[in-house]
Amino acid sequence: MKESSTIAEYLVSHKNSEPISFHMPGHKGREELFVQCGYGDFVKNMVGNDVTEIPGADNLFDPRGTILRVKENYARLYGVQSTELLVNGSSAGIIASIMASVPRGGKLILGRNSHHSAFSAMRLGDITPVYLRPEIEPNSGLQIYISPEEVRAAVDENPDASAVLITSPNYYGILSDIESIADICHDNNMLLIVDEAHGAHLKFFDRTAKHKRAAENLGADLVVCSTHKTLLSYTGSGILNICSSRVDAEEVREILHMVQTTSPSYLLMGSLDINEKIMSRLADDVVARWKEDLIYFYRRADRIPGVRIFTHEMLDMTKINISMAELGLSGEKLGRELRYNNIWIEMVHGEYVMLMTGAGNRRGDYVELLRALEQISRKYGIGKPIERRSENYDFDLEVSEIPKKKTKQPLYLAEGHVMYSPVIIYPPGFPVVCPGEIMNMEAITCISRALSNRESVVGVDDEGQVTVGELE
């Protein structure tokens, strides 16, 4: 596909190339389910549907008609007390959840693998972080869940914290034991916020599951879902589910008013409406087909020489993590090979690529993916295996307040500086240092070694600088 000079040209060209999408959004650029539920005209009439808050369209900040009904429908669909619509992405929901749960100057316990919007909320609210470390799966080197024991220790050491934030599933699809963590939080009068951005579909998979995995079913108080990631709403839309009476729902709404636009996109809200209608009517069919296609893929992929698929008992099977390191392919190289086959992945992390499946994927997508993997396997069948790195990131870092102002500092001179932005090495894909932590020489040495080995490092610029707090 030739390089386009404008965004519009790129979008048209990309669509016309008939890409096989294993990245967000979940509808995968397909209109079938929209048409099946009678909303084909909505998809085709993008410009005509782009309106503002005209009479009859309702008001997001004071809903009394159509928007109110969409919110009520979502609350019923997810079985929660109430639902707020998100039109600035799940980031707005995470910020509102944190700031409504933790008083200014308070303390939040959260995973080191949290979304950057959580760090933004702490800056806005002068909130002090207490970081939780995800477990590392030894065979793959990937980060997995945050254990209840890790949460319990942090809660015992910080009884003055107001809330706990857990990302489940994480970016690779691993879920934490939300039910046990919720019990710990509630026994200590803390709220549990779950960033379920990558798991809006879990509620529907739970309908036939022996063990529930959706945070809404497991005792969480606030759950943020990016319905666009795996379901059918448009990119940038999502929902915030308020699941318990422990939450001050009015405070959540007030903060959402601060962080969401006063000119909300009716295209996004309309797509949220349609997503709810489709899942209300067709969720069982959508999930059944989705599961069948995933089982089809996993069984056949396991037979391809050199292909290793990451598995774990707490894995959300809709996230496919593939390594061909045994044949000498890095994650970057495997990603390029798949793209040559017009297969577009979600993310590269170390030796792995992650493919995010969605409600819009079809059997043919998985057939083409298997064909591409077989072709790559034959092409690199005598490759030299990549040596997997083993690194300990359990540094004893002091924690300060998250800085409000930032500056750049060469990595080798950053010792003693409070971090403004995280530094992340892939894999395992969580920060070596987080915002608010004080950089030490052990962490500097680890990051420098990763850079020397040309590993994937986020948070160090091309000039070898990191972003730290500006000295007062």
| Residue 285, pLDDT score | 98
237, 210 contact by CB (below 8 A): no
User: Domain 406-469: which topology?
Assistant: Molybdopterin biosynthesis moea protein, domain 2 (3.90.105)
One fold for 40-279 and 406-469: no
The CATH number of 40-279 is 3.40.640.10
| Residue 390, pLDDT score | 54
Judge whether residue 330 has pLDDT over 60: yes
| Mean pLDDT, residues 279-290 taken together | 98
Judge whether residue 392 has pLDDT over 70: no
| Residue 395, pLDDT score | 77
Q: Tell me: the pLDDT tens digits for 210-258? A: 999 999 999 999 999 999 999 999 999 999 999 999 999 999 999 999 9
Q: Tell me: the pLDDT tens digits for 20-78? A: 999 999 999 999 999 999 999 999 998 999 999 899 999 999 999 999 999 999 999 99
Annotated domain spans of the chain: 20-28+283-379, 40-279, 406-469
Q: Tell me: the pLDDT tens digits for 85-131? A: 999 999 999 999 999 999 999 999 999 999 999 999 999 999 999 99
In the chain, what percentage of residues exceed pLDDT 70? 97
pTM reported for the whole predicted model: 0.94
Query: CB within 8 A of 302, min separation 6: which ones?
Result: 309
User: Domain 20-28+283-379: which topology?
Assistant: Aspartate Aminotransferase, domain 1 (3.90.1150)
| Residue 428, pLDDT score | 67
pLDDT range class, residue 5, cuts 50, 70, 90: confident
| Residue 385, pLDDT score | 86
| Mean pLDDT, residues 270-298 taken together | 98
